[in-house]
A = this chain, B = another copy of it.
Amino acid sequence: MRLFPVVMAGGSGTRFWPLSRKDRPKQFLPLAGDVPLLRATVDRLPPLARLDSTFVVCGPAHAAAVRKLVPRLPRGNVVVEPCARNTAPCVGLAALHVKAREPRGVMAMLPADHHIARPEAFREALAAAAAVAEKGAIATIGIRPHAPETGYGYLKVGARLPAAGKARGALAPHKVERFVEKPDVVTAARYLADGGYLWNSGIFAFRADVILDEIRNAMPVLGEQLQVIERALGTPGYARTLKRVFPDCPSTSIDYGVMEKSHRIAVVPAEFGWSDVGSFAALSEVRPLDDQRNVTSGAAMVIDGKDNVVLGHGRRPVAVVGLDGVVVVDAGDALLVVRRDRAQDVRKAVEELRRRGREDVL
């Protein structure tokens, strides 16, 4: 089986300001190490998938940056969305491109901004999901939780499905009883204790024909819009058609629009050191810690403090003294200091700077 990975790189959040900017969103930042998250996402695919079978979907503002970051990616494998319309239209558009290569091609949807500590375990899980997908399932990868995380969606695992291909033992696929929205901490603790819940990783595998079928059933309007685009695909009118049709597509997530309604969902339970790197606070999960559980980079230093994330800029010293649980980020032209457990409130700083007319640092 030839696998078609589709890296979804259309995100544009503000949770990593001041490192992230309009023209340099999270997936372009080396948050987990030396390599930008997007590049690491592509790099961990071989030998499971080839670069010439790999697609990256992004917005027009970032297409050049994607090509620069993954120079060996064939030009036609960068799929440009005219505008951001959440994941359902993105998946549909990618499915059209895969289908054009191989009508029953198995594709794997991969967020461009996650971190995976153990790439080999990841490839095994993805291969297992792809094997289930080849038989017609909408396969998702569920992560065995190790903490009562409130920042992730959960999947309630159902009955075991007949194993397909490599999907034996620990990676055996199961039915999904239901999708659960981000829970409160009490509910999350219950899920953890229960053992029958997994984190929704947002990593899916399905055949191009199957997902287009599912979209037509669950989201008929989008289904028709995709048919219009498909007829233009490979013709000189493609770009114009896409630009006309895509902005009218419903801005709906694939989870909500399709997955949660589908009867073909299967989940492959897995563990491969996954993190969605949801905020600066998550850097403690994906970066080396000192013996006081501090993350530091550049010329940053922590004196009498623990559980801090302190990111320096070049040789400029950043000294943090007598503080626990803070995030300090020097981005060169802007600085952020935020309590670690409020790292998601970075957006408030972005809003305030916008109000003050400081688009130059946004």
Interface residues of A, Cβ cutoff 8 Å to B: 18, 299, 301, 303-304, 316-323, 326, 328, 330, 333-339, 342, 345-346, 348-349, 352-353, 356, 358, 361
Contacts and interface: CB of A to CB of B under 8 A. Distances in A.
Instruction: Select the residue from A335, A356, A361 with max chain B CB neighbours within 10 A.
Output: A335
Contacts of A301: 349, 352, 356
Nearest to A333: B316
Specify how many copies of this chain sit in the oligomer: 2
Nearest to A337: B320
A321 B303 contact: no
A352 B320 contact: no
Contacts of A361: 317
A75 to B, nearest CB: 38
A358 to B, nearest CB: 6
Given A304-B342, A316-B334, 9 more contacts: A303-B352, A317-B335, A317-B361, A318-B336, A319-B335, A321-B342, A322-B345, A326-B326, A328-B337
A321 B336 CA distance: 8
B338 A322 contact: yes
11 contacts: A301-B349, A301-B356, A303-B349, A304-B345, A318-B336, A319-B349, A321-B336, A321-B345, A321-B348, A323-B338, A326-B326
A17 to B, nearest CB: 8
A337 B337 contact: yes
B317 A339 contact: no
A18 to B, nearest CB: 8
A299 B337 CA distance: 14
A310 to B, nearest CB: 8
Contacts of A358: 299, 317
A322 B339 CA distance: 6
A317 B353 contact: yes
Contacts of A338: 319-323
Contact of A317 (B318, B326, B334, B348): B334
A84 to B, nearest CB: 25
Nearest to A336: B319
B304 A323 contact: no
A321 B346 contact: yes
A335 B328 CA distance: 10
A349 B18 CA distance: 24
Contacts of A322: 338-339, 342, 345
Contacts of A333: 316
Contact of A318 (B321, B323, B335): B335
A339 B333 CA distance: 24
Given A326-B323, A342-B321, A304 B337 contact: no
Contacts of A339: 321-323
Most buried by B among A317, A320, A339: A317
Contacts of A303: 345, 348-349, 352
A356 B339 CA distance: 28
Closest 10 CB pairs of A and B: A319-B349, A322-B342, A321-B338, A322-B339, A318-B335, A317-B334, A320-B337, A303-B348, A319-B336, A321-B345
A159 to B, nearest CB: 45
A319 B348 CA distance: 9
A349 to B, nearest CB: 4
Nearest to A358: B317
B319 A352 contact: yes
